[in-house]
Structure 1
Amino acid sequence: MDLARFIASTKHLLVLTGAGCSTESGIPDYRSPGGAWSRHKPIYYSAFVRSEEVRRFYWARSYRGWPRFAAARPNGAHRALAALESAGFAHFLITQNVDDLHQEAGSRNLVQLHGRNRIVVCLECGCEFPRAEVQERLSELNADWLTAAPRLDPDEADFAPDGDAAVAREVVGDFRIAPCDRCGGVLKPAVVFFGESVPAGKVAVAMARLDEADALLVVGSSLTVWSGYRFARLAGERGIPIAIVNLGPTRADSLASLKIDARCSDVLSAAVAHLTSYSAADPKSRSFLTALGTT
């Protein structure tokens, strides 16, 4: 069975995406060879909250990596998934990504499990600020730091999926952190850090959509992290067909009815080119596509 046929055979397709969906936009994943975890370890929530030194290290890395992260644009995989939604083939999308590229491509029915890196929240008063504004404040506070650290070229940085980049520890000590301009509290990007729980409300929304689904399509995720794997495991337990498009193995390969080891954009674009020439709402078109089984 190919992907177009799999999608056409569903009425309530749930899509789950991970970092591999955004690698072709210039945002790396964590676990592939050469991925972010092979170069530097992430900062944990408990350490960020507890230590000003850790916060300074985080924000220096984030400051360095932000220009490249902010410049990322949707790739063929994002556009294909948005097209599937628009054509009525995909009913909801759960993403583990924090880059907003699904929305920029046109997806509307989705939940971002791990939050949004383009928003910053104050841990004291709860106020939210655009990440771009915080970048401007950091630039004002650290003009001398940039001059003293000429090695900080964002185009040459080790880069992570959440937008931070490697910074030598010897240059971090002089970096100045921007406090909340409302209450002076600690600012944190509105993303789920390692060691932090996914908000219960988001999990509830995703679970409700899984309850409605008659098929699950996993795109660009190894499903190593429980926050994503749980949906595949539950789908498998319920007998819901699963298709996986990912470069390399995943934790749910044994549960999949269809596994395609290839670049997400190539596979999805080919499937969408075929599917969207038909009406998703027309049962005759769906029956034809299911029988045809070609991309």
Structure 2
Amino acid sequence: MTESLAASIATLQDMIQGARVVAGFTGAGISTESGIPDFRSPGSPWMRHKPISFEHFRHSAEARREAWRRKFAMDDLYRDARPSQGHLAFASLVASGRMPAVITQNIDGLHQESGLAADQVIELHGNGTYAKCLSCGGRHELDWVRQCFDADGWPPDCRICGGILKAATISFGQAMPEEPMRRAQNLTASCDLFLVAGSSLVVYPAAAFPALAKENGARLVIVNRDPTPLDDVADLVIHAEIGSVFSVFVL
């Protein structure tokens, strides 16, 4: 570890120690160290196919079939992914009482696997570890959906109402979830330190929360491998790997 990185981490420790309410905000970078590639990374499996829009998914059985085929193929690739040092650090910060919840752009469920309760994770883009019915909202576990899909090559209908099942993620063209957005806005408004880890801060409306926190008077910290559009207004910027910065916070 370089002297400058060590000094930045020490500053971050002081800022967290002095904060009343810390809002955590995570993006793909916290999970790349778990082996899950960033959507925009060169060569990422996510970039091999044109995304299937929400409307296309709703109106085309073939689109739904292809979406589920891709979903299960990706799940097989990253089945062994486990929480990174960054995930464990955020779980420790929540356990300490300084961070009420983590706002995340990720859909991999690794924050929950790191020890956080479901209500301690605000998922702006949904969760890919289960399915929901688009009609009644009923939850269905992926093991059952996969079993049905493998049997005849088609995803099953909702067992509750017969509606369309979709991974519980937010697709292109799909409305952002109201309750998580409301919770994220409330946490952003109440914090005095907003801590970004592993986000490029280019995907909106999620990326608006750090700027809103800064406008409300909170201090802004950005830890990301590459520069972001908000680096110039942040109080502390650390361009480094997430694990190398946050390992000191893991209990």
* TM score, norm. by length of structure 1: 0.75
Secondary structure at 2:167 match in 1: strand
- Give distance in 1, aligned partners of 2:154 and 2:15: 52
- Cα RMSD after superposing both structures: 1.9
Deviations 1:198-251, CA, capped at 9 Å, x for gaps: 112211111111121001000111111113211011112223111111111223
Corresponding position of 1:16: 25
Corresponding position of 2:135: 124
Q: Aligned to 1:140, which of 151, 158, 167?
A: 151
Q: Aligned to 1:199, which of 171, 174, 177?
A: 177
Conserved? CA contact 2:34–2:82, under 8 Å: yes
Q: Where does the alignment leave 5 or more consecutive residues of structure 1 unmatched?
A: 142-174, 277-295
Query: Highest Rg: 1 or 2?
Result: 1
Corresponding position of 1:223: 201
Residue 76 of structure 1 pairs with residue 85 of structure 2: yes
Give, in angstroms, the shift of residue 17 of structure 1: 0.5
Corresponding position of 2:103: 94
- Give distance in 2, aligned partners of 1:253 and 1:37: 27
Corresponding position of 2:246: 268
Secondary structure at 2:51 match in 1: coil
- Sequence identity (%): 39
Conserved? CA contact 2:94–2:100, under 8 Å: yes
More RCO (CA 8 Å, sep 6+): 1
Conserved? CA contact 1:82–1:105, under 8 Å: yes
Gap change, CA 1:209 and 1:48, over 3 Å in 2: same
Give, in angstroms, the shift of residue 133 of structure 1: 1.9
Secondary structure at 2:208 match in 1: helix
Deviations 1:8-58, CA, capped at 9 Å, x for gaps: 221111000111111111211112333455433322212211222221211
- Give distance in 2, aligned partners of 1:39 and 1:122: 27
Corresponding position of 1:51: 60
- Give distance in 2, aligned partners of 1:117 and 1:228: 18
- Give distance in 2, aligned partners of 1:203 and 1:183: 27
Q: Aligned to 1:65, which of 50, 61, 74?
A: 74
Gap change, CA 1:34 and 1:258, over 3 Å in 2: farther
- Give distance in 1, aligned partners of 2:210 and 2:13: 20
Conserved? CA contact 1:229–1:251, under 8 Å: no
Conserved? CA contact 2:68–2:155, under 8 Å: yes
Q: Aligned to 2:38, which of 29, 33, 43?
A: 29
Corresponding position of 1:259: 237
- Give distance in 2, aligned partners of 1:246 and 1:240: 19
Corresponding position of 2:3: none
- Give distance in 2, aligned partners of 1:68 and 1:39: 14
Gap change, CA 1:36 and 1:253, over 3 Å in 2: farther
Gap change, CA 1:269 and 1:71, over 3 Å in 2: same
* TM score, norm. by length of structure 2: 0.88
Corresponding position of 1:248: 226
- Give distance in 2, aligned partners of 1:255 and 1:54: 42
Number of positions where the alignment pairs a residue of Structure 1 with one of Structure 2? 240
- Give distance in 1, aligned partners of 2:35 and 2:241: 14
- Give distance in 2, aligned partners of 1:237 and 1:263: 27
Gap change, CA 1:42 and 1:210, over 3 Å in 2: same
Conserved? CA contact 1:29–1:36, under 8 Å: no
